[in-house]
């Protein structure tokens, strides 16, 4: 695993919301729950490419703003539908309250 990327201070993302980050050609949606956990997934919905960072968040799941498809943030698993799962990335907040995204050397696999 390579060095985690510094995406900036966690306060870039308001509690309970997500933001899209563009890393070269890759787009990642990073979420911050009200409980303080962070999650990262692919940026757009596998159904019709809805912007997942604009989703409503509840507990550990998000609901795509376009057609209401639901996904588990931790696993990327589709919840209650068969539209495919999300790729997820390891993400954390370091001691300086900065977002650290771990990009795997291998291409990310679809969560099962």
Partner 1 sequence: MKDRRKLVVVGNGMAGARFAEELIARGGRDAWDIVMFGDEPYGNYNRILLSGVLAGTHDPRDTFLNPLRWYEDNGVTLHAGVGVRGIDRRARVLHAGNGIMERYDELVLATGSVPFVPPLERLRLGDGAFREGAFVFRTLDDTEAMIRYAARSKKAAILGGGLLGLEAARGLLALGLEVHVVHLMKHLMEVQLDPAAGRMLHGLLKNMGMHVHLGRATCGVIGEERVEGLLFADGLTLDCDMLVISAGIRPNAQLAVDAGLEVERGIVVGDDLRTSDDHVNAIGECAQHRGATYGLVAPLWEQARVLADRMSGRKTEARYEGSRVSTKLKVAGIELAVMGAREATSPDDEEVTYSEPARGVYKKLVVRDGKLAGAILLGDASSAPALLQAFDRDQALSDNRAELLFPLASGGTAASAADLPDDAQICNCNGVSKGTIVAAIRRGCRSLDVLCSATRAGTGCGSCKREVGVLLDAIAGDAVADDPSEHYYVPGVPLAKPELVRAIEERGLRSVSAVFRELAGGKDDAASKPGLASLLKTLWGKEYDDERDARFINDRVHANIQKDSTFSVIPRIYGGVTSPAQLRKIADVAERHQAKMVKITGGQRIDLLGIPKEHLPAVWRELGMPSGHAYAKAFRTCKTCVGTDFCRYGVGDSTGLGIAIERRFQGLESPAKLKLATAGCPRNCSEATTKDVGAIAIEGGRWEIYVGGGAGSRVRKGDVLCVVDSHDEVLRMMGRFMQYYRENAKYLERTYGFVERVGIDLLRRLLVDDAEGIAARLDADMQAAVDSYVDPWQEADAPKTSAQFAGALTPDVPEAVRDPSLVQLRLASGER
* Residues in contact with partner 1 by the rule CB under 8 A: 5-8, 11-17, 19-27, 34, 42-44, 46, 48-51, 54-59, 61-63, 65-66, 68, 70, 80-81, 84, 87, 103, 107-110
Q: Which is nearer to partner 1, 44 or 95 (CB)?
A: 44
Query: At its nearest, how many Å lie between partner 1 and the CB of residue 13?
Result: 7
Angle 92-93-98 from CA coordinates, rounded to 5°: 130
Angle CA(86)–CA(101)–CA(75) in degrees, nearest 5? 30
Least Å from the CB of residue 98 to partner 1: 10
Residues 6+ apart with CB under 8 A from 26: 103
């Amino acid at each position: 695993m390579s060095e985690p990327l510094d995406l900036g201070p966690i306060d870039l993302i308001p509690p309970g919301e997500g933001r899209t980050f563009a890393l070269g050609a890759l787009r990642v949606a990073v979420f911050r729950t009200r409980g303080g956990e962070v999650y990262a997934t692919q940026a757009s919905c596998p159904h019709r490419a809805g912007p997942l960072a604009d989703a409503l968040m509840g507990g550990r799941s998000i609901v795509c703003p376009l057609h209401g498809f639901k996904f588990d943030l931790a696993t990327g698993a589709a919840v209650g539908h068969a539209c495919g799962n999300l790729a997820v990335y390891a993400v954390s907040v370091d001691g300086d309250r900065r977002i650290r995204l771990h990009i795997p050397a291998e291409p990310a696999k679809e969560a099962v």
